[in-house]
Amino acid sequence: MSIHSTHLNVRPVRAFADNYIWLIESPQAPKQVVAVDPGEAAPVIAELRRSGSSLAAILLTHHHPDHIGGVPELKLLGDVPVIGPDDARITQRTRTVRDGERCDFPKLGLSFEILAVPGHTLSHIAFWGHGALFCGDTLFSAGCGRMFEGTPTQMNASLTKLRELPADTRVFCGHEYTAANLRFALTVEPANSAALEYQGGVQRVRAAGDPSLPSTLGLEVRVNPFLRCDNPTVMAAAALHAGKPLSEAADVFGVLRAWKDQFR
C-alpha cells in the first residue's frame, strides 16, 4: 500500500511492535525509494523485493536504535548516502545536516528542509518537503515523544516550530501510538469534538489493520494537546492537574508531558 502525500507516494513498512519505517518513492526515478528511520533491515529488504524497488538513500531523524539499527545491513545493498543529524552516536552517517539546510536529491526529484526539533533527543531533526513532514519521535498523532534529553522549553519550542508549518502538511511519525494518545488527549479535553471524531476514525482503521498515519498538521492542531499548550482549556486542565496556576506554554507542556508519562 502506498500513501499519497501532496506530491509524494509514501509506503509504510512496519517494524518491531509499533514502528513505521517510511519509504518515499521517487517522483522522478521509477522504483527508487528513500528510507526514513530504518530501525530494522529485514522488513525493508522484504518490501524492496516485493515491489521490485531499490534503495537510493536513508534519512535519519535521531540516534535511537529502533530508528537506525537497520542501517548497517541496508548499506550492504549498495553504497547509498545516509543523512542524519550531528550526533556521534550515528556512526553510519555519511552526511550531516543541520537546521535550515536543505537535503536535495536532484536525480530523484526530492528535496527536504531540515528542521532542528530538540527535546526527545538533543540532536533530533525533521525532514519537511513536498507537503510531507517526517518527524521521527518528536511529534506523534495526538501526542509527542518523551523527553529523554531535552527540556520542556526545548520540546515546546520544537512543537511550536512544527505547528507553524502549513495545515495541509502530512505528518509521518515514527510510531503507531495514535489510539493511546487520543485516550490521553480526551482526558485533557473531554469535550474536544475534533478529537472525539478522530478517535472513531482511528478505531475503524486500526480494526481493519491499517495505519492511522499519516495525519495532517491541521488535524493535529485541533486534537493534539501538546500543540495546544496556549489553549485556555488545555491550560486549565494542566493547571488543575498540577494544582497551581500555569501561565507559560512551556510550563503547561511540562505538566502535560509528566502527566502523560504516568498515564495508563
Domain ranges in the chain are 3-262
Query: Alpha-carbon distance 123 to 85, whole Å?
Result: 6
Q: Give 229's contacts (C-beta < 8 A, 6+ positions apart).
A: 156, 235, 238, 249, 250, 252, 253, 256
Average pLDDT value over all residues in the chain: 96
pLDDT beyond 60 at 6: no
130 given a catalytic annotation? no
Q: Which helix (H) or strand (E) covers residue 203, if one does?
A: helix 193-207
What is the architecture of the domain spanning 3-262? 4-Layer Sandwich (3.60)
- Distances in Å between the alpha carbon of 129 and those of 43, 55, 86, 134, 200? 25, 19, 20, 9, 30
Of 37, 63, 64, 251, the catalytic one is 64
pLDDT beyond 90 at 4: no
Of 37, 62, 63, 251, the catalytic one is 62
pLDDT score of 3: 52
* pTM reported for the whole predicted model: 0.96
Place of cell 515523544: 145
Phi, psi at 144, each rounded to 5°:
-150, 170
67 given a catalytic annotation? yes
Of 37, 63, 67, 251, the catalytic one is 67
175 given a catalytic annotation? yes
**What are the grid coordinates assigned to 182, written together?**
487520543
120 given a catalytic annotation? yes
Of 87, 124, 175, 251, the catalytic one is 175
pLDDT score of 7: 73
pLDDT beyond 80 at 216: yes
Q: pLDDT, tens digit, for every residue of 44-89?
A: 999 999 999 999 999 999 999 999 999 999 999 999 999 999 999 9
62 given a catalytic annotation? yes
pLDDT score of 124: 98
Of 66, 87, 124, 251, the catalytic one is 66
Of 37, 87, 137, 251, the catalytic one is 137
137 given a catalytic annotation? yes
pLDDT score of 9: 96
